[in-house]
Amino acid sequence: MVYSLAQIAHEFSLDYDGDGALSIIGVCGLSDDRKDHLAYVSERKMVLAAKTSNIPAFVTLPDCQVAGKANLFHANPEYALAKIGRLFTRSQLTQSDNIHPSAVVDTTADITSSTVLGANVVVGANSIIGERSVVMPGCVILDRVEIGCDCMIYPNCVVREDCTLGDRVVLQPGVVVGGDGFGYIKHHNEHVKIPQLGNVIIESDVEVGANTTIDRARFSHTRIRRGTKIDNCVMVAHNVQIGQRCIIVAQSGISGSTTLGDDVTLAGQVGLVGHINIANNVTLLGQSMATKDIREPGVWAGSPARPAKLWKRAFARLYAGLARE
């Protein structure tokens, strides 16, 4: 795929300076230093490296032009490059028919004419898959699942019975939606399994990273609200409620019946105990452990989690004391 600078500018309504006929074959980062590619400059300190690079064109701030290069202008260059990058997306699954001959689809399932099912996909009874959704090879969709429009379900995902996905949901490879919540009751010195009779509801515009698990609720719903993005290898336990536009980074674990508000960020390897509430606009720094409710917005750190400024002061005093010994 090759686009001229002028074509890119027109497609995304960008002003530009330089040779409009310049051919662009892809996008890259400044450190990649690739010929015939487009990169971005978001800070003045990047300009010198950009000027001396082999990259012929940049998306830049209007007042941050790179001399000697072609420039496209946007108030948020990195965002603009992310949008432009979609022009260069390559094919992911090529097959002659929308439904691969090896797919097994129950006769009661409702599959639209624009749905794509890859090799060895299984779709259970009374399930619904919306327009333009793609289910890649090896996925299993059990009974009474509802999948919206324009979803992308990558290979080897499982969506268990009665779960719901909204529109434009992305499940990266190996995601399991609706596995049993971890629930047992001890009786006569045995662990007796508690049936997990609820489901998982994933709202529109959610992306779930590879090998993440989202467990079904005991009675009602585990819910991931609109616009939330979840990284790889995250554990979401039964009955958890995650608000809108949250960011959950890799290897975090959210214990059962915990609720996150909107715009919450959990950095890598954060842990939340069960049955607590996290307010809107809370950030928990990496490897923090929240053991009780966090009721006010802000940045928290440590185990048990405390306001980050307090945590940093405490560690500074600790290490200062050790240095005096």
CA–CA–CA angle 256, 261, 263 (5° rounding)? 125
* pLDDT tens figures, 298-310: 999 999 999 999 9
Are 179 and 325 found together in one domain? yes
For residues 203 and 166, the answer to whether their CB atoms sit within 8 Å is: yes
Within a domain: 140:
no
Query: What is the DSSP pairing of strand 229-230 with strand 207-208?
Result: parallel
pLDDT at position 318: 86
* pLDDT tens figures, 81-138: 999 999 999 989 899 899 999 999 999 999 999 999 999 999 999 999 999 999 999 9
For residues 140 and 158, the answer to whether their CB atoms sit within 8 Å is: yes
Enumerate residues 6+ apart whose C-beta is below 8 A from 83.
12
d(CA 174, CA 186): 32
Are 77 and 216 found together in one domain? no
* CA-to-CA dists, residue 250 to 141, 169, 198, 245, angstroms: 25, 19, 26, 16
Q: What single-letter DSSP state applies at residue 252? A: -
- Residue where a domain stops, chosen among 38, 68, 88: 88
Boundaries of domain holding 17: 3-88
Within a domain: 227:
yes
What is the domain-level CATH number for residue 229? 2.160.10.10
pLDDT at position 321: 79
Within a domain: 221:
yes
Choosing from 37, 74, 221, 238, the catalytic residue is 238
181-188 contacts at long range (C-beta below 8 A, 24 or more positions apart): 181/215, 181/216, 181/217, 181/218, 181/222, 181/237, 181/238, 181/239, 181/256, 182/215, 182/237, 182/238, 182/256, 183/218, 183/238, 183/256
Are 78 and 220 found together in one domain? no
Within a domain: 134:
no
pLDDT at position 315: 84
Are 323 and 180 found together in one domain? yes
Are 179 and 304 found together in one domain? yes
The pTM of this model reads 0.93
d(CA 133, CA 96): 16
pLDDT at position 324: 76
- Say whether 37 is catalytic: no
Count of structural domains within the chain: 2
pLDDT at position 76: 97
Within a domain: 217:
yes
Tokens of 162: 């009665």
Q: For each successive 10 residues of the chain (325 residues), what is the average pLDDT?
A: 96 96 97 97 94 97 94 97 95 92 98 97 98 98 98 98 98 98 96 97 98 98 98 98 98 98 98 98 98 97 95 88 75
Within a domain: 102:
no
Single-letter amino acid, residue 202:
I
- Residue where a domain stops, chosen among 62, 88, 114: 88
d(CA 13, CA 229): 28
Within a domain: 103:
no
Within a domain: 179:
yes
What is the domain-level CATH number for residue 80? 3.40.1390.10
- Residue where a domain stops, chosen among 38, 54, 88: 88
d(CA 26, CA 101): 35
pLDDT at position 323: 74
